[in-house]
Structure 1
């Protein structure tokens, strides 16, 4: 049996690190990198340090408007599918690469398996929300990471071939946490004091593309007087420069970093401030308070469990949370047992039978 796995962005590289090597124990896997994330610090470093198999195809799509990017992926993926004739296409998450990978397969009547199915922010203005809903509705096998995601699918009439295997990013954290302790020296390199700095990420279009939202975030970070570490996404940097915004000296702006350095910074931070879905989960895995600069989250379990607070981009709310937010109860086991990759393999084997 031949499986084509489509990846294209940082979170998918991490998920593939937890699954691809397991799949290859039983099946032939063709790995397709769309090139949605193409910067060396956003792409190549992940393949190098996470031992992800080298892509069989690198489409080199690059950046662009959503329609242009997704359309180009559809054209190129269809060519690859017709050439390779896969028995199954595996996609992850909610990016344009995810939707293109699923849609191109569905049009050719190739079964689609969606890892991280069923997530919902209930905000259709988010491109990611559109991508994940459309992908779920054309997938043949769905792998939701939580019971909440299972319920979301059921509410949309998707009940067959739904398997709650847990979260593959939890697998990845468990797999690479010890390696990060051995190989990453970023905390010392940045002269940071453990549990005395705030790790921050900003990349979501709803924040970067709106000068008022981005200004509020930056002002809150500046006025916190806390040591802030900010690995700066290239798109965010572009908008900060174009808006004429700047950071105070308490904000250490660094280049995008690899996964092991990111895990290390998360492990040793006091709190994490982010608009990233993946980083919200990683904060939970690391037992770090998370402050989410969005108006909603698809990871509602982290909020319900008291380890994540939603502050939007209100400057005073961000500031108050940085200074005062602490979890109010013990964590529950929400994201599985760290064996999601093995369970995905088992389900696919059963589906073949």
Structure 2
């Protein structure tokens, strides 16, 4: 574990705890909003939960963020070890830097560590994306969300539905409905991606004539038969399916000893701008990622979520996302690709997560509190 020796910066420092690619993407607008708010100074702590540079370090440069002020390098380990190592490092950083507030976004082990560490210190803790619930306590992310919300001084809910989830759990006075920062991120970076990305040329894809697929959750990667069924479905289509491989997925695919030689176009994890451009131009996406469900809604790309439930139920209610099992993926994906009416009906919820000013709203609440 490595940390810098610099002294505390300011009584109004806001320390952002990040650990994974989605957190970096969705927290970037809040960091920039805090930096533009008089009286607040942002600092960034990166736990290093994602051990692949393609999934974390490169994004600081892509998103025009400063290098982290603190790096913990906890890497990949069991949930207990990863959470414990981050907890120790975050507590040490809080003690040395004395921030006025600590903010963490999402539902990873980094968020849980930040919530627990801050709850035992003088700084206030703000949970960005509070109130999301899948109803599946078997998911580690669900446990992390619930626990983070219980100790948060400020629960920044992305939607009224998320706020209602919190109210049902007795959490209401400290809740602020601010929208989802994914809209801010897409709004800020979609034009840049359209201008700079060469992903379609790189993989010989034509806009509107291919699909995108991602899979990284243990439910899909750690069950060999479930993963094999999903791969068979995606690799037997009549159109290309771009498939960026998360390290966990790459290892799981290698263990199956299958040859992906059909419609699947496997590739290394994409740069954020490349993924944004690929998703925006795709006919549809099949995924198990929560963030991709949101981005697909913002970018008007029909989404199939390969899970039995989702903590983004508003996408399903809006008709832009469908929950499917692996053996349903082929039929559902083909229907979207072939049927213009069905495709167009799943493209109509661009404003589902707000107007793109969530970062500014969060910064305003923090500034008022401090």
Q: TM-score range by the shorter chain?
A: over 0.9
8 Å CA contact 1:20–1:53 kept in 2: the answer is no
2:330 aligned with 1:319: yes
Counterpart among 97, 104, 124 of residue 91 in structure 1: 104
Q: Note the C-alpha offset of 1:39.
A: 1.3
Q: Note the C-alpha offset of 1:215.
A: 1.1
Paired position in structure 2 for 1:45: 58
Q: Distance in 2 between matches of 1:170 and 1:85?
A: 31
2:286 aligned with 1:268: no
Q: Distance in 1 between matches of 2:122 and 2:363?
A: 21
- TM-score calculated relative to the size of structure 2: 0.92
Paired position in structure 2 for 1:211: 224
Q: Distance in 1 between matches of 2:31 and 2:13?
A: 13
Q: Note the C-alpha offset of 1:40.
A: 1.6
Paired position in structure 2 for 1:167: 180
Q: Distance in 1 between matches of 2:153 and 2:209?
A: 46
Deviations 1:181-233 (A, max 9, x none): 11101111111011110101011111111112111111111222331100100
2:24 aligned with 1:16: no
8 Å CA contact 1:240–1:246 kept in 2: the answer is no
Runs of 4+ in 1 over 6 A off after TM superposition: none
Counterpart among 197, 215, 218 of residue 184 in structure 1: 197
Q: Note the C-alpha offset of 1:243.
A: 2.5
My pick for the range that moved more, 151-160 or 39-48, is 39-48
2:71 aligned with 1:71: no
Q: Note the C-alpha offset of 1:30.
A: 1.8
Q: Note the C-alpha offset of 1:80.
A: 0.8
Paired position in structure 1 for 2:146: 133
Q: What SS is found at the alignment partner of 2:131? A: coil
2:315 aligned with 1:302: yes
Q: Distance in 2 between matches of 1:44 and 1:82?
A: 25
8 Å CA contact 2:298–2:351 kept in 1: the answer is no
Q: Distance in 2 between matches of 1:108 and 1:134?
A: 17
Paired position in structure 2 for 1:111: 124
Q: Note the C-alpha offset of 1:21.
A: 1.5
- TM-score calculated relative to the size of structure 1: 0.96
Q: What SS is found at the alignment partner of 2:54? A: coil
Counterpart among 329, 352, 362 of residue 334 in structure 1: 352
Deviations 1:212-266 (A, max 9, x none): 2111111111222331100100111111112223323311101001110011001
Q: What SS is found at the alignment partner of 2:48? A: coil
Paired position in structure 2 for 1:194: 207
Paired position in structure 2 for 1:80: 93
Paired position in structure 1 for 2:235: 222
* Count of matched residue positions in the alignment of Structure 1 and Structure 2: 350
2:363 aligned with 1:345: yes
